[in-house]
A = this chain, B = another copy of it.
């Protein structure tokens, strides 16, 4: 069977399953999710054995230690997968929500109702737990999932999917086989083949580094919701409470620097730069943050900060994901907005100010998925937004923007209920 035939078979099975999944009621889906969670814990040994094969192979390759660590499935991670599935079972069913309802003058009743998207391809890198997390969210929202993890995690991913599938089938014999599938081949060419099947595949969500996401977006013929980089900013306005500004600037950078909603650039209003920069620098110094400062910030900080470098143009575009921060002095809120819209990735950006008019200007003018006033950008997250769980954070503008929870994994249809209405 050619790669194209293999992918077509996979996608066709997913499409067929998606029609059945769309009709499952919440209690059936929740039963299956809880059964999957139990089975993941019960089969921890089997999962660890499959994972050991992957880890063994990875040790023999030149994989970086951090990546190797992400690949490992231990009891803690297995328990976390099970817990995640149980939490998804607890969340309200996003399917069937009535988004809008109206009766037209001719008596035709319209209901805009949330429905599953259909078949979702998830492409991700080395963490095998994504298999359970993503499949669980897609299943609860009535979608069939085709998972394509890194080839280094193939055995782990397949084992997880098999455990989930057989648990669901045991609980509910009518469980559609094509609901959760792992791409069974490692060839790179499988991705463009799969993402060319517009008849069967409805959406692709790539999760991972910039290279992966770009490659997927380049080759896909189906819609892609990208979960891209976060070049996030915090702007300290002259009207800010300096104490609050200091705490937010610290939290947004150092609380977890390796994630997409941590700030990468600090913008400081010229009017308060002389006061604020030395203050925040003392805090950053405690955390060994390297600062890449523009000429003006450099002048203020120079001599008083060890890890100080001049910023170059490329720094404004950089997602460090590390204890590194670009710093720029700007001329008020308008310059801050212009900087963010020019260099940012439209992910999460914030202002600290006590002045409402300035805040409103910032909130309206910054074109990002999440815009903050007097809070850390670190809250851009499905859990923090009350969605319960997220499949990622969209940096796209069509379909879903910002954190994607269960509701963001649905589309809608219009039900039109009449009593014989004709168009004249």
B-binding residues in A (CB < 8 A): 19, 22-23, 102, 104, 108, 110, 115, 117-118, 198, 202-203, 217-218, 221, 223, 225, 241, 244, 247-248, 251, 255-256, 341, 350, 363-365, 367-376, 378-380, 384-386, 396-399, 401-402, 411-424
Contacts and interface: CB of A to CB of B under 8 A. Distances in A.
Nearest to A385: B110
B379 A416 contact: yes
Contacts of A198: 217
B375 A420 contact: yes
A-B interface, 3 closest residue pairs, ranked by CB to CB distance from nearest: A375-B418, A378-B423, A251-B422
Contacts of A350: 416
Report the copy number of this chain in the oligomer.
2
Given A202-B398, A375-B421, 12 more contacts: A19-B365, A108-B375, A223-B396, A223-B397, A247-B420, A255-B422, A375-B420, A376-B421, A398-B398, A399-B399, A401-B411, A401-B414
A202 B397 CA distance: 7
Given A202-B397, A248-B420, A422-B248, A373 B22 contact: no
A399 B364 CA distance: 22
A371 B416 CA distance: 6
A371 B413 contact: yes
Given A223-B396, A225-B398, A255-B422, A384 B104 contact: yes
Nearest to A15: B341
B118 A363 contact: no
A66 to B, nearest CB: 22
Contact of A373 (B225, B255, B369, B415): B415
Contacts of A202: 397-398
Contacts of A373: 415-418
Given A23-B364, A202-B398, A378-B423, A414 B371 contact: yes
A112 to B, nearest CB: 8
Contacts of A419: 374-375
Nearest to A359: B417
Contact of A421 (B379, B399, B421): B379
A367 B22 contact: yes
Nearest to A397: B411
A336 to B, nearest CB: 14
Given A244-B420, A421-B379, A422-B247, A415 B104 contact: no
20 contacts: A19-B341, A23-B365, A104-B384, A198-B217, A202-B398, A203-B398, A223-B397, A244-B420, A255-B422, A363-B415, A372-B416, A374-B419, A374-B420, A375-B422, A376-B421, A378-B422, A379-B416, A384-B423, A399-B399, A402-B414
Contacts of A341: 19
Given A218-B221, A371-B415, A415-B373, A398 B244 contact: no
B418 A374 contact: yes
A380 B399 CA distance: 21
Nearest to A105: B386
A109 to B, nearest CB: 9
Contact of A413 (B369, B386, B398): B369
Nearest to A424: B255
A398 B108 contact: no
B379 A108 contact: yes
Given A397-B118, A420-B244, A414 B376 contact: no
Nearest to A375: B418
A373 B80 CA distance: 45
